[in-house]
Amino acid sequence: EKQFKRAYQEASNMKGDTSQNLIGLLERRLDMVVYRAKFAPTIFAARQIVSHGHIRVNGVKCNIASRQVAVGDVISLGAKAKEMALVIEAQGLAERDIPEYVAVDGNDKVTFARVPTLDEVPYPVKMEPNLVVEFYSR
């Protein structure tokens, strides 16, 4: 809850629409980029892969799941992660597509191309971030 409230406060301090900023901040998290790149089958598995040190950001090992990824950062799998059954299974999943804002650079590397807008993010349910903003603005 503290992290989420901090994300809301950061989004509200930015210029522009707070709900769009909030979505952008949440999608820039390293664990979310790992999940969107199909390196992990679930968001929880993505957090675990990051926290176990299997992910590299611009060639440097990173184990902080909440790290903000900058536009142009290259996220790649570590050497051991390329052979993990969990990663191979996730890359074979047909029900999820890699969004446009995560550019694929081969089988084990992606580049975070740009910060997405709400309508670009492939959520399985209709999300209303304006209600979250309304809740936290009290």
Q: What are the extents of the domains in the chain?
A: 2-132
The CATH class of the 2-132 domain is: alpha beta
Higher pLDDT, 95 or 116: 116
Rounded distance between C-alpha atoms, residue 71 and residue 79, angstroms: 24
Kindly report which listed range (1-5, 8-12, 58-62, 121-125) carries the lowest average pLDDT score.
121-125
* 3-class DSSP assignment, residue 36: helix
Q: What predicted TM-score, i.e. pTM, was given to this entire model?
A: 0.90
Rounded distance between C-alpha atoms, residue 138 and residue 70, angstroms: 30
Helix (H) or strand (E) holding 104: strand 102-104
Q: Which token pair is 138? A: 């009290």
Rounded distance between C-alpha atoms, residue 107 and residue 5, angstroms: 35
pLDDT classification of 134: cutoffs 50, 70, 90: confident
pLDDT classification of 77: cutoffs 50, 70, 90: very high
Please tell me the predicted confidence (pLDDT) of residue 93.
Answer: 83
- In DSSP notation, 59-86 reads TEEE--TTPBPPTT-EEEE-TTGGG-HH
* Eight-class DSSP state of 123: -
Q: What is the mean pLDDT of the chain?
A: 90
Helix (H) or strand (E) holding 109: strand 109-112
Rg for the chain, CA atoms, rounded: 15
